[in-house]
A and B are shown apart, each in its own frame.
Chain A
Amino acid sequence: MFYTRGVADLGALQAVVPDSKRGLLSLVRPASELETGLVQVSDDLARALPRGGLPKGQTVSVTGNGSTWFCLRLISRLTEQGGWAAFVGDTKLSAPAMLEAGVALDRVAVVRDPGEHFTTVVDALVAALDVVIVSGARLRPAQARGLAARVKERGSVLVTRDIEWPVSSDLELRLKSSWSGLGSGFGRLDRRDLSITASGRRVPTPVESRLAV
């Protein structure tokens, strides 16, 4: 087994390696998998994330269309392996879609309406769970900084989905999605193309990658 440094390399490799050598490529793993400080994500998403996973102790913001589906995919590998994730403030999740994204339903706690206790609830959850995905709230900068510090201290991951986060996140993922399959009065949804732009404090140049589902 060979390890390469950085996933961007792996993506680049994939593009230049001729078809005859593709078999070899499957033996190559991103060096990030050696690191213990990552929450593992499914293989297709690993290619889109700068370090091939969710860095523990960081805040990640996900914005753009397709964010719900993306967040579900983010936690699929984790929950499959017995880790715990939570959604806070998301009132409209659907169980079949969660299953379809590969999420283990009995490992995802959902606090649909935290009301006035939003920060207390998130604070309690990031202290014990691996990934907490928040949406539908507006926080003051001080509260956001407090939560970010808590996440750093406990080594969990806080994902903000489609909300304005008053302080800068460690990793920012902007999504663009498009569906195909529907024509004018016929067809069914069958393919979604997702382009992901990763930027942030620890990513010197924004990295763009594409994902077809």
Chain B
Amino acid sequence: MRRTVAVVCPNWAVSGLDTAVVVHANRVVAASAGARSAGARKGMRRREVQSLIPDISIVAFDPAEQMRSFEPVIAAVEAFTPRVEVVEPGVCLFSAKGPARYFGGEEQLVWLIADAVDALPGRQQLHPTERCRVGIADTPHASRLAAWRNTVVPAGRTREFLAGWPLNALNDPPLESLLSRLGLSTLGDLAELPLKKVVARFGMAGYRAHNIASGVDERLLKPRDAPADLSVVWRCEPAIENVEQVTFAAKSAGDALLSRLSEVGLACTRVQILLETEHGEQSQRTWRSSGPMTPHDVAERTRWQLEGWILSGEISAGVTTVTLNPDEVTVGSQSGLWGRLGDVDVRVRRALERVQGLLGVDGVELAVVSGGRDPVEQTTWVGWGEPLEPAQAGLPGSVAVSGPVQVEMPPWPGRLPPPFPTQVEVEPVAVTVEDPSGGQLRISRRLSMSGEPFAVDGVRVTGWAGPWPSDTRWWDPAAASRRVKMQLTLANGTAVLVALDRGNWYREAVWD
């Protein structure tokens, strides 16, 4: 049992905004108080929310930016205890033991922290539901739930406190839906089942859920400071002055740390990142994640920490050392026999990582096919070593497409038929498209043309198809675009896709 204080700023990404939602992968991940009172809920699709609240503002999902803005809150909490664990933007935890005694009891501590956080500039005018909430309970998970109700759960009564919570407090949607179909509706129901039976039926996920529900620490090992020899010190010679490169150094250090841990069968759920500069300045922060950390997680958190540090203006020189200390470890799940990148030749890996060291993690990318109507949307660039996921999926099912090679493409109504253009302009390039009279080719609202297309940038047109109207995102004034597209073959042997947008012609793609 470890009394934990949770400090939660509800809906961090949208707090203070009137009606706004954060959308990630087409689903709402956070909604402001105004948006919720108008009916917006987490998990809704973007369009559902837009039809519900037409004038809603949609905020980009950007954890790094949110973490930077969360920095003052962390600083305020650090006035109470030096060991703050940041979970995600808007949520941090720390151990209640010392601070509660020093500040005159747990109740007292809760009020002091809430007042300190809400006294920060810009937080006074917040909607009451978005004020800072603080809770204390016996486990990290329960303390976050306690924070939602602004309560201090007395020591040893966490299980009773949790009993009334619905299953979605587990934060494990597949298991929740399974358990609810089996007739369980609250954490109390789950906690009453014998642990052995739950593990036998649901494995590790069941074990974790049962521990959460019964108010037992969900970690598998007793919390202890990991042996010091597991920490990794990454020296940068010469000092690095570029955020990208520090992030990459942290990723390499994370790789080293996690492979060292996995050799002894451990995984890391809390890591302490210590950055040191040439001038001896230090920045130390503890980061917690709900599951085992990946090298990418470590790199991401280092970037957040560094950017926060730069923002505070307390850093005056390049970073010389990145130290990762696995603060808390659990029994790790074994990765596959060969790992994900195991089949890549070690020489290739080293070369690519060397280039990443020069240019940052996104310096070396792999292409992934993504859904989308415009050619530029059909490619997602993914940094080497990160999961190969497209930015937008296609609709379910897929169609076969003919080419030199059969390609399965996610279906997307309205996109160009194959062959696919080989060169796609990320920013459309302005071109001139002439009609036979030598003037600009004009196309009316009803798609009648001022003449046949004659030349593009002075090169004769040999064949053309179209024009097709492309009226996208008409429901969103900011992103709406009404264009007319044409496919042309040119005398120099290429084919181009050109689009007319507000009276100007642009080249969108080339079949080179």
Whether, in the assembled complex, B292 has its beta carbon less than 8 Å from a beta carbon of chain A, the answer is: no
A129 and B426 contact, CB distance less than 8 A: no
Residues 122-148 of A contacting B (Cβ, < 8 Å) = 124-125, 127-129
- List of A residues within 8 angstroms of B493 by Cβ: 64-66, 176-179
Known A94-B509, A182-B489, A184-B452; contact A68-B381, beta-carbon cutoff 8 A:
no
Q: A96-B418, A100-B420, A185-B452 are in contact. List 18 more A-B contacts (CB 8 A).
A: A91-B426, A92-B423, A92-B425, A94-B378, A94-B423, A95-B369, A96-B379, A96-B409, A97-B420, A97-B421, A100-B418, A101-B422, A110-B365, A128-B347, A177-B494, A178-B489, A189-B511, A213-B404
Whether, in the assembled complex, B319 has its beta carbon less than 8 Å from a beta carbon of chain A, the answer is: no
Task: Identify which of A84, A91, A182 gathers the most chain B CB atoms within 10 Å of its CB.
Answer: A182
Task: List the 10 closest A-B pairs by CB distance, nearest first.
Answer: A182-B463, A128-B351, A100-B403, A177-B493, A95-B367, A96-B420, A95-B379, A68-B422, A102-B405, A65-B493
Determine the main DSSP class of A at the interface with B: mixed
- List of A residues within 8 angstroms of B347 by Cβ: 127-128
Of the residues A106, A113, A128, contact of B366 by C-beta under 8 Å: A106
Q: List, sorted by A's number, 24 A–B pairs whose CB atoms are closer than 8 Å.
A: A68-B512, A73-B404, A94-B379, A96-B378, A97-B421, A99-B407, A101-B422, A105-B367, A109-B355, A109-B384, A110-B381, A111-B355, A114-B359, A117-B359, A120-B358, A176-B493, A177-B493, A179-B493, A179-B494, A180-B463, A181-B489, A188-B465, A189-B489, A213-B404
- List of A residues within 8 angstroms of B405 by Cβ: 76, 99-102
B375 and A94 contact, CB distance less than 8 A: yes
Q: How far is the CA of A82 from the CA of B375 in the complex (A)?
A: 27
CB distance from A74 to the nearest CB of B (A): 13
Q: Quick one: closest B residue to A122, CB to CB?
A: B355
Known A93-B423, A187-B465; contact A109-B352, beta-carbon cutoff 8 A:
yes
Q: How far is the CA of A124 from the CA of B380 in the complex (A)?
A: 25
Q: How far is the CA of A119 from the CA of B135 in the complex (A)?
A: 56
Of the residues A66, A95, A177, contact of B368 by C-beta under 8 Å: A95
Q: How far is the CA of A139 from the CA of B424 in the complex (A)?
A: 25
Q: How far is the CA of A203 from the CA of B419 in the complex (A)?
A: 33
CB distance from B207 to the nearest CB of A (A): 34
- List of B residues within 8 angstroms of A189 by Cβ: 419, 487, 489, 495, 511
Q: How far is the CA of A113 from the CA of B359 in the complex (A)?
A: 9
Q: How far is the CA of A97 from the CA of B345 in the complex (A)?
A: 26
Q: How far is the CA of A69 from the CA of B366 in the complex (A)?
A: 18
- List of B residues within 8 angstroms of A97 by Cβ: 419-422
Q: How far is the CA of A102 from the CA of B369 in the complex (A)?
A: 13
Q: Hey, which bits of chain B sit against chain A, CB under 8 A?
A: 345, 347-348, 350-352, 354-355, 358-359, 363-370, 375, 378-381, 384, 388, 401, 403-405, 407, 409, 417-426, 452, 462-466, 487-489, 492-495, 509-512
- List of B residues within 8 angstroms of A185 by Cβ: 452, 464-466
User: What total of chain A residues lie within 8 Å of the partner, measured CB to CB?
Assistant: 56
Known A100-B405, A182-B464; contact A69-B417, beta-carbon cutoff 8 A:
no
B419 and A100 contact, CB distance less than 8 A: yes
CB distance from B395 to the nearest CB of A (A): 16
Whether, in the assembled complex, A115 has its beta carbon less than 8 Å from a beta carbon of chain B, the answer is: yes
Q: Quick one: closest B residue to A73, CB to CB?
A: B404
A109 and B420 contact, CB distance less than 8 A: no
B388 and A106 contact, CB distance less than 8 A: yes
Of the residues B379, B404, B466, contact of A100 by C-beta under 8 Å: B404
A121 and B375 contact, CB distance less than 8 A: no
Q: Quick one: closest B residue to A120, CB to CB?
A: B358
Known A95-B380, A121-B355, A179-B463; contact A112-B404, beta-carbon cutoff 8 A:
no
CB distance from A156 to the nearest CB of B (A): 11
Q: How far is the CA of A182 from the CA of B416 in the complex (A)?
A: 14
B378 and A95 contact, CB distance less than 8 A: yes
Q: Quick one: closest A residue to B390, CB to CB?
A: A95
Of the residues A94, A95, A110, A121, contact of B358 by C-beta under 8 Å: A121
B424 and A65 contact, CB distance less than 8 A: no
Q: How far is the CA of A96 from the CA of B402 in the complex (A)?
A: 12
B364 and A100 contact, CB distance less than 8 A: no
- List of A residues within 8 angstroms of B359 by Cβ: 111, 113-115, 117, 121
Whether, in the assembled complex, A72 has its beta carbon less than 8 Å from a beta carbon of chain B, the answer is: yes
Q: How far is the CA of A109 from the CA of B368 in the complex (A)?
A: 11
